[in-house]
Amino acid sequence: MKLLVTGGAGFIGSAVIRHIINNTHDEVVNLDKLTYAGNLESLTEVSDSSRYAFEKVDVCNRAGVDRVLKEHQPDAIMHLAAESHVDRSIDGPADFIETNIVGTYTLLEAARHYWQSLEAERRNNFRFHHISTDEVFGDLEGPENLFTEQTPYTPSSPYSASKASSDHLVRAWHRTYGLPALVTNCSNNYGPYHFPEKLIPLVILNALEGKPLPIYGKGEQIRDWLYVEDHARALYKVVTEGTIGETYNIGGHNEKKNIDVVHAICDQLEKLAPKKPAGLASYRDLVTFVTDRPGHDLRYAIDASKIQTELGWVPRESFDTGLRKTVQWYLNNQEWCHRVQDGSYQRVRIGVGA
């Protein structure tokens, strides 16, 4: 197969591309606008492969998307391009509306016309896989409740509302036009190459520098944590074996309070980086509680039994094993982190034309 991955220079997208190039014989075309969250250094290990190609194109640019589809002739599209940071969506929702809603619409229309132009066999095998989030479901009420594929949407932030909108568009294009689409909703991802503004890498890097570890409210918010490489395997499983028109929830079976996640990171650092900044007795001493964000959901938790039953996927990493790998990766890749933190990564555009 040849797969077009939108947002392939992002955290999850780059993990998907690395998985495909390293573990399959498929070809990948990476379509990415290269916003602040797009980092081609995350693809250095596969960028020289003859099965990898990069196109710097915005999903909102219909002419650019049409050109890429015509030139590369993909067999499937995996749509991951999205603005994804909740705090940024609260401060400036316009980019989220543009990329997540207008961009998805633009891509759907380009994909629909491309799909309709294919010969019968290729048209029958074509797939449009939309990757979304569990945040579209909003808050869970009871401690035993789980998000299923039938859970109603009640998004709380501009980010989750824009992702919910994009999910609805994909399902509408499937029902109205017959576009062979699939949707996946995942829980919180973590792992290597995660942008440092997100909770786990932020805590790791702040701790190593002796900076405060900011925790919203009392840190009581519960999230289900999914190791990004497990997610990449699941996404490839869905795009190659999933049933057209279906939705699959993908979770890590690792519900943790945010405060417990931060404490676990501190404990890992005590073992892996015992030499602390001057004057610091314990990494846990850096924990700092800050004012909670507006509309902050308390609990997310995924029921991932459908993808296990129908496609045979289960996560390989527990939270403990995945977190240890993640902390160790950040310790081993300080230069990558520093280039992201100082912005110099944005000047390194591997394989990008003028």
Helix (DSSP H) and strand (DSSP E) numbers for the chain: 13, 12
Provide the CATH number for the domain around residue 85.
Answer: 3.40.50.720
- The reply to whether 277 falls in a domain is no
- The reply to whether 249 falls in a domain is yes
- The reply to whether 185 falls in a domain is yes
When pLDDT is cut at 50, 70 and 90, the band that residue 352 belongs to is very low
- The reply to whether 148 falls in a domain is yes
Around 143, how many Cα atoms within 13 Å sit in the side-chain half-sphere? 3
Residue 346 confidence (pLDDT) above 70: yes
Structure confidence at residue 173 (pLDDT): 98
Q: Are 5 and 30 in contact (CB under 8 A)?
A: yes
Structure confidence at residue 348 (pLDDT): 53
- The reply to whether 209 falls in a domain is no
- The reply to whether 327 falls in a domain is no
As a three-state string, the secondary structure of 100-148 is: HHHHHHHHHHHHHHHHHHCCHHHHHHCEEEEEEEHHHHCCCCCCCCCEC
Catalytic residue among 55, 134, 224, 255: 134
Structure confidence at residue 84 (pLDDT): 75
Distances (CA, A) of 298 to 136, 217, 249, 291, 315: 14, 11, 19, 14, 24
Instruction: Look up tokens 């995945």; give the residue.
Output: 322
Q: Are 83 and 60 in contact (CB under 8 A)?
A: no
Alpha-carbon gap, residue 49 to 300, rounded angstroms: 38
When pLDDT is cut at 50, 70 and 90, the band that residue 195 belongs to is confident
pLDDT in tens, 22-45: 999 999 999 999 988 899 999 999
Residue 303 confidence (pLDDT) above 60: yes
Amino acid at 92: G
pLDDT in tens, 144-176: 789 999 999 999 889 999 999 999 999 999 999
Structural domains counted in the chain: 1
Reduced to 3 states, what is the DSSP secondary structure of residue 301? coil
When pLDDT is cut at 50, 70 and 90, the band that residue 347 belongs to is low
pLDDT in tens, 87-121: 788 888 999 999 999 999 999 999 999 999 999 99
Active site residue 159: yes
Longest dimension (CA), the chain: 69
Active site residue 134: yes
- The reply to whether 6 falls in a domain is yes
Catalytic residue among 52, 105, 114, 159: 159
Residue 349 confidence (pLDDT) above 60: no
Contacts of 192 (CB under 8 A, 6+ apart): 15, 228, 325, 326, 329, 330, 333
Share the mean pLDDT of the chain. 93
pTM greater than the 0.85 cutoff: yes
Question: What is the domain extent for residue 315?
Answer: 2-195+225-256+298-319
Amino acid at 84: S
Give the length of the chain. 354
pLDDT in tens, 61-73: 999 999 999 999 9
Catalytic residue among 27, 41, 55, 135: 135
pLDDT in tens, 119-135: 999 999 999 999 999 99
When pLDDT is cut at 50, 70 and 90, the band that residue 56 belongs to is very high
- The reply to whether 352 falls in a domain is no
Instruction: Look up tokens 């824009």; give the residue.
Output: 162
pLDDT in tens, 248-301: 999 998 999 999 999 999 999 999 999 999 999 999 999 999 988 787 778 889
Q: Are 213 and 347 in contact (CB under 8 A)?
A: no
Structure confidence at residue 268 (pLDDT): 97
Distance of CA 314 to the CA centre of its chain: 18
Structure confidence at residue 121 (pLDDT): 97
